[in-house]
Amino acid sequence: MRRVFRLYESTIGKKIVMAVTGVLLVGFVVAHMAGNLKMYAGQEKMDHYGEFLREFAAPVLGHGGFLWVARAILLLAVAAHIRSAILLTRQSQAARDVGYKVTTRRESNYASLSMRWGGVFLAAFIVLHILHFTTGHIHPTFEHGAPYANVVAGFTVWWTAALYILAMIPLGLHLYHGTWSMLQTLGANHPRYNHLRRKIALAVALIVVVGNISFPVAVLTGLIK
């Protein structure tokens, strides 16, 4: 029987799903960090920013509609990202039925080797993060619509701040290898610019990690109160 080549059934097609959803998720974490920099502009500006996100495109989508559209897209992206990761991991595990007695790594690094477990950890962290700052279920003094006060109160608990800081290690590693992988999978390849790909990946990872770590540090040191 003849059949048509279907991209999504092939290994590379699944990797393209990883990469395209990766573009969305990398874009989200960068924007998420950048938006939160409003914390440094003071309570009024930060709360106003939260309100702005709820009111964005409200005439079309209704109050809070934009946020729900964004959440739906991100949730779909995360689901597709995880599904492809599981399928590809299973394929790769089946591809070496007998393992090596001795393994020597030459080019792979902590970032590339921690993608799978790092991803599992990040998924768990994202669930906690949403329960903490979005729904407030595990937040001591959560108040809806008051992001500034919620962040300050949340990070005043030292071990919560520490957990957030620690979680940035797997995020940074995942972003570094993920961004570089994304460029490689989508075929961003030109002799003149290839040397930039690792640097772009490192810059994305560093900007997000340093920005995010600054929030709990600012609360703990009293810079934000």
Partner 1 sequence: MSETMKLVLNVWRQPDATTKGDFERFEIPDVSPDMSFLEMLDVLNERLTQKGQETIAFDHDCREGICGTCGIVINGVPHGPQKLTTTCQLHMRKFKDGDELWLEPWRSTAFPVIKDLVVDRSSFDRIIQAGGFISVGAGSAPDANAIPIGKEVAEQAMDAAACIGCGACVAACPNASAMLFTAAKVGHLGLLPQGQPERYERVQKMVATMDNENFGACTNHAECEASCPKGISIDFIAMMNRDLLKGAVQHPIELD
Interface residues toward partner 1, by CB under 8 A: 2-7, 9-16, 88-89, 91-108, 112-113, 115, 177, 180-181, 183-189, 191, 194
155 CB-near residues (< 8 Å, 6+ apart): 161, 164, 215, 216, 219, 220
Q: Least Å distance between CB 110 and partner 1?
A: 12
Helix 158-185 / helix 195-220 crossing angle, nearest 10 deg: 170
Q: Least Å distance between CB 26 and partner 1?
A: 15
Q: How far apart are CA 217 and CA 151, in angstroms?
A: 12
Q: Which two tokens stand for residue 175?
A: 């972003």
| DSSP structure class, residue 120 | H
Q: Which two tokens stand for residue 52?
A: 């702005």
Which of 36, 112 has the CB closer to partner 1? Answer: 112
Which of 7, 127 has the CB closer to partner 1? Answer: 7
Q: Residues 219, 43: contact at Cβ < 8 Å? A: no
Which of 160, 181 has the CB closer to partner 1? Answer: 181
Q: Least Å distance between CB 46 and partner 1?
A: 38
Which of 104, 221 has the CB closer to partner 1? Answer: 104
Q: Least Å distance between CB 16 and partner 1?
A: 6
Q: Which two tokens stand for residue 126?
A: 């994202």
- Cβ burial 120-146 (10 Å sphere, 16+ → b, else e): ebbeebeeeeeebbeebeebeebeeeb
Q: Least Å distance between CB 218 and partner 1?
A: 35
37, 115, 130 from 124: Cα distances, Å: 24, 14, 10
Which of 59, 99 has the CB closer to partner 1? Answer: 99
Which of 67, 88 has the CB closer to partner 1? Answer: 88
Q: Least Å distance between CB 172 and partner 1?
A: 17
